[in-house]
Each structure stands twice: as structure tokens, then as C-alpha cells.
Amino acid sequence: MPHRPVRKAVFPVAGLGTRFLPATKAMPKEMLTIVDRPVIQRVVDEAREAGIEHFIFVTGRNKGVIEDHFDRQAELENILRAKGKVDIIEQLENLLPGPGQTSFTRQQAPLGLGHAVWCARELVGDEPFALLLPDMVTRTPGDGCLKQMIDGYNDKGGNIIGVEEVPDEETEQYGVVSIGEGQGNCWPITGMVEKPAAGTAPSGLIIMGRYILQPEIFPILKDQRKGTGGEIQLTDAMQALMEIQPFHAVKYQGMSFDCGSRVGFLTANVAFALDHPELRNDFARELRKLLQDRTGKKPQQ
Ligand code: G1P
């Protein structure tokens, strides 16, 4: 029997972004740009590429501009049209989800990722859904990260978690999974833990902010007690769901940037600028000059 299709995606965007103050005082951290696109646009693009049809944002106060970003801007379009810049209008249009394809709900209180996901329950309904944490921005050589995970889901069904290998000293910042024997890049998950203390992680495979989950997670989240950091943790609820449903890890081809940290965010900007067809040559030249000034050494070409 084919697995039920994944049509909807949830984006938790209620976080305050305190690490980016003062930039995030009046602007949501998800609207910070990586080169010329807001972080949230890149993550929504990844979901669209994977075939997602409905985009559910779990927002908080001061996040209204995200809703505006995914709407038409008639005044801007009129000005661009008057100037004959129809190509820019078309580009903007291509980035927009269609009418009725977005929904917004509010988390109301910062009780943790598990609580944010639970806030989307009525909008998701009784079907599997993707969950994308916008702090993690992915860069892939071919198919996007979520698309690769959907391929895994079409094969295995159940629940899928995107994973990535990190050095031992970084595991304590993330959820970590342990895995059993599998084939290719897809393995059964045998256990998971949220932010394990240094030296206690069961593996180097972190949960990198992409999930495909079955709706049975919602009743578990409803009663989920607070866990690590005094927050309602999604990882704890997934651990409970693992007792009745299979979970697989997909190690996707590509890399992710943790844009919740300033270094990760800056690195993402450099990486995507170096990928950008119009910017890459000029930007690489300027970057080389800067590095040369810093080190006094001529950097390798
Ligand atoms: C959340 C999840 C964690 C995951 C991480 C990825 O943590 O709880 O399992 O590894 O996102 O970014 P947070 O970054 O919200 O502390």
C-alpha cells in the first residue's frame, strides 16, 4: 500500500532571536537575509521543491512581516510595471505560494519546540506532515534535503528524521539519534536523546531540523511533560511515538548551516554568495583580499 502523501509543512517561527540583537529587535530573525533571500524564504523554497502544497507558520508577536513577505505587494508591482521591469515581477511571483496555500497560527507562549508543533495540530489535521526548523538552512548539490527525505519516506513510510554527522564536541547542542543496520542513506532509528551531556551522545548523528512525522505525534505532545531546558521537547514526544511507529534516519547529501548562531549565519552567507552566479567572482576576489589583509599571507587560489 502506498504511504499517505506529505502535503503540508510546518515552520515554527516564534523564536525571539536574542543572539542577533539588535538586528532582531523589530525584525524577526527568520527575515535576516542570506545574500538576497530571507532565511525563511530559503526554507520554504526547500519545502516547495519537495512537493509541499500547504505552508503552516507557527508565529509569535512581531512576526507579521513574515506573512507580508509571502503575499503580493501591489504597490511595488505597480511601480516595477510602470518601469517595464516585468522580469523582476515574474521572479517575485515565482517565489510565492499560491492563494490559500499558507496558514498562520500563534504559539502565544515560548514553551518549547514540542509545544510549537502541537500548536499546528488543527491546521495539519489527520495526515503526515513535514516539519522544517528555519534556523537550519541546507545546501545540497542536487535534490534538496526535504526532497531526499520524501524519497526515504516513499520507501519506508512511518516517521523520518534528517540527520547529519558532527564532531563529538558539538553533539551536546542538538538532538542525537542512534541507528541500527540499514541500506544506502536510510537507517532505522533505535533511540534518541535531546542535547546529551558532553561525552554521553549515542552517536555523532544529530537531528538537523528536518522531520516527516505522523499525526499520532499530536496527542503525545498534548500531554508531554517539560524536558531538557524546562521546555516541551519534540524529541521526547518522538521517543514515545517510537514505541508504536517506525522511525528512520535519512543522512542527506549536502550540508546545513546553523543560522541560529552568528558564525553559522555568516558562514551561510559566504557559502551562498560563492554559489551565486552573478556574485561569485567579485565576491571571491574581495574575500581573498580581506583574508590576505588578515593573515599577511597570500591565500591559496
Ligand atoms: C531543536 C531540536 C533539536 C535539533 C535542533 C536542530 O533544538 O530540539 O533536537 O537538533 O533543533 O537545530 P534547538 O535548536 O531549538 O535548541
CATH number of the domain where residue 105 is located: 3.90.550.10
pLDDT at 298: 67
Provide the sign of the torsion angle of the four alpha carbons 76, 81, 87, 92, taken in this order.
positive
pLDDT at 150: 97
pLDDT at 299: 60
Our CA dihedral for 179, 194, 133, 54, rounded to 10 degrees, sits at 70
Ligand 1 site, residue 206, Cβ cutoff 6 A = yes
Q: How many CB atoms lie within 10 A of CB 301?
A: 5
pLDDT at 94: 87
**What range does the domain containing 192 cover?**
8-260
Residues of the chain with pLDDT below 70 are 1, 298-301
Ligand 1 site, residue 207, Cβ cutoff 6 A = yes
pLDDT at 300: 61
Residue 270 lies in a domain: no
Could you tell me the pTM of the whole model? 0.94
pLDDT at 45: 96
Residue 30 lies in a domain: yes
Mutational test site, ligand 1, from 11, 29, 135, max ligand atoms within 8 Å of CB: 135
pLDDT at 2: 79
Residue 215 lies in a domain: yes
Q: How many CA atoms lie within 13 A of 184 on its CB side?
A: 12
Domains: count for the chain: 1
pLDDT at 301: 56
Q: How many CB atoms lie within 10 A of CB 105?
A: 17
Residue 291 lies in a domain: no
Q: Give the separation between CA 128 and CA 213, rounded to whole angstroms.
A: 6
